[in-house]
Amino acid sequence: MSDQPEPRNPLEDDRFRLLVEAVVDYAIYMLDPQGRVISWNSGARRFKGYQEAEILGAHFSCFYTLEDRQAAMPERALRIAQSEGRFEGEGWRLRKDGSRFWCHVVIDTIRDARGTLIGFAKITRDMTEQRMAEQTLKQSEQQFRLLVQSVTDYAIYMLDAGGRVSSWNPGAQRIKGYAPEEIIGEHFSLFYTPEDRANGEPQNTLAIAEREGRFEKQGWRMRKDGTQFLAHVVVDPIRADSGELLGFAKITRDISEVVAAQQQLEIAREALFQSQKLQAIGQLSGGIAHDFNNLLTVIRGNLELLRKRAGDDPRLSRLVDNALLGTERGVTLTQRMLAFARRQELKTEAVDLGQLVRGLEGLLCSSVGPQVAVQLEVPEDLPRVQADVNQLELALLNLASNARDAMPGGGRLLIRGQLRSAAGDLPQQQYVCLSVIDSGEGMDEQTLVCAAEPFFTTKGLGKGTGLGLSMVHGLAEQLGGRLVLKSSKGQGTAAELWLPLASCEEPVQPAAPSAGFSPLLRPMCVLLVDDDSLVLNSTTLLLEDLGHRVICATSGAQALDCFREHPEIDLMITDVAMPQMDGEQLVVAARSLHPELPIVLATGYAQHLGGLAAGLPRLFKPYTQVQLTAALAQALG
């Protein structure tokens, strides 16, 4: 038996050399047993920055950071590869210019026929870019054949000019399942699905690669056991110096996990789009509600004056009362729109959620009817939440009403309060989660996505505004919490209202004037400023009915002129949202002329005010004559 090594096939060696040298997205090179570089491919030159003359003979530890060299990481990697046959890891590496990149490294031992260690095959993959780039085949040397045969994470193999497999590396065996003796000589169409084979996809692949110099595509491929995986495939033609086609270099990468990650990213993008859409609708709703509040201010004010002048005619009084009831419905509608837009005025305080829910139990039971069993699970020791009591009660009744409508044949309604850790991007660490859970028919996925959008409703025509859930959503967002809906068809619905915890020291909220509160005020000269002429006229009539003299201005600049012309002005009422000079700017200018001037701010929605305007009384549109009188009294102290 001869000890002479087997004769090498020069053509096969050239093919491996061309194949490895063509790879430009992976650093594929060899180390001697001591760790010195003895070969260097184009991919290594491209992203490590060294030319062959600069790096051959150098120790591969020069690619490691100072910290890793001090920790003997290069020596450890070779020791593990030598003892276990393979080393794999990730970490920071250095380029020639000193810059860092994060990479995935595989080191395999290379042994001769006697088992003697003759070096190491090293593949470095730049993970900072996460993509495959163009790979071409160039000339290489004999040692690259051993290098390619050591790669186990990528299927790197060659096809002859007819598409038959002529080489097969361990990566191809691992990914596709075929041993070399099973696949060499077989046509590569074996890896395609039956549908792709019937459509001539394998032949088309080689034709494009030969004609255009490169073929790259993603598609489904078959393993030996019949399972499919999503692959990223690059095919490059290999030509002799004469231009003759020798075959094709083929690299296949299993991208199933990458595609799954991309799908998750698309889901996140869709959620972001949904959020942006709701924000845009919220801005539109807030603007509409603001303008609608101006109209309701006019209608309500004129109806109140008409009621005073209606006398004892019951038919006329009934007409006015019906019109006022319609106005109140309009007020409720605008409040819901402002709630969704997060522009309603909230009077937040520390709220005992258990006490609030138990106090509403009777109203909840009567609201859902006798066919629905109401169960409360709100511990008494729950921390207090920061909320507006009235708006929170309205939100809870709204959710209970929706639950009732989802259970036309009756069922069970559970209201549960729990202290929960924050989820998602909520700013605080802990929240109280108030859940309203029904045993109703539930919602499908499409309905669930649209449920909180304004004007979306599954109720019949005229049976709902579609603003109930959107109002609850807006309230939760304005309080600094969140509304989370969970549902599936036939499995009921859970509406979770995440509420922020109250701080230790809560400011005492001033009590709102009652409906019957009507202080007696001396007649005054009132400067009324509003850019809406209808509001201006209506409020003028309300003030004159109270015995006051009114001077009107339609802009901030005109109001300042009025101060110069009418030094007898006792008080100013100004709208906040006005063009050119808004109410906040007018306050500063007016106080510079009259430092002690009483001022009332009229507004259609809540907005942040700073400086002098922050501490002034506010009059929220649409207001009644009683509320107008109370605001004047508050301004006068």
Measure the CA–CA gap between 6 and 46, rounded to whole angstroms. 35
CA dihedral 479, 485, 486, 489 (to 10 degrees): 170
512-545: string of b/e by CB count within 10 Å (b at 16+)? ebeeeeeeeeeebebbbbbbbeebbebbbbbbee
Summarised one tens digit per residue, pLDDT across range 149-186 is: 666 767 888 899 999 999 888 888 888 989 989 999 99
How far apart are alpha carbons 409 and 124 in whole angstroms?
A: 65
DSSP 515: T
Length of the chain: 637
Rounded CA separation 183/209 (Å): 22
Options 1.10.274.30, 3.40.640.10, 3.40.50.2300, 3.60.130.10; CATH of 525-636 = 3.40.50.2300
Assigned superfamily of 349-500: Histidine kinase-like ATPase, C-terminal domain (3.30.565.10)
The pTM assigned to this predicted structure is 0.37
Q: Which residues share a beta bridge with 157?
A: 250
Q: Give the DSSP letter string of 297-353.
A: HHHHHHHHHHHHHSTT-HHHHHHHHHHHHHHHHHHHHHHHHHHHTT-S----EEE-H
Instruction: Determine the topology of domain 153-254 in CATH.
Output: Beta-Lactamase (3.30.450)
Q: How far apart are CA 373 and CA 365, in angstroms?
A: 8
CA torsion, ordered 14, 17, 19, 22, to nearest 10 deg: -120
Residue pair 467/456 in contact (Cβ under 8 Å)? The answer is: no
Q: Kindly report, residue by residue over 46-57, the tens digit of the pLDDT.
A: 888 899 889 999
27 vs 101: CA distance, rounded Å: 13
Alpha carbon 70 to its chain's center? 42
What one-letter code names the amino acid at 283? Q
C-alpha span between 136 and 20 (Å, rounded)? 9
Distance CA 34, CA 216 (A): 38
**What pLDDT is attached to residue 134?**
36
At 560 the three-state DSSP class reads helix
Low-confidence residues in the chain, pLDDT < 50: 1-2, 131-140, 341-342, 454-456, 460-467, 505-517
How far is the C-alpha of 521 from the C-alpha of 635, rounded, in Å? 12
Chain segment 322-370, per-residue pLDDT in tens: 777 777 766 666 665 555 544 555 567 888 888 888 887 887 887 788 8
Say whether 576 sits in a helix, a strand or coil.
coil
Would you give the end-to-end CA distance of the chain in angstroms?
A: 115
Domains 11-151 and 349-500 share a fold: no
Rounded CA gap, 170 and 180, in Å?
A: 9
Nearest to 11 by CA among 209, 186, 240: 240
* CATH number, span 11-151: 3.30.450.20
Instruction: Write down the domain spans for the chain.
Output: 11-151, 153-254, 269-340, 349-500, 525-636
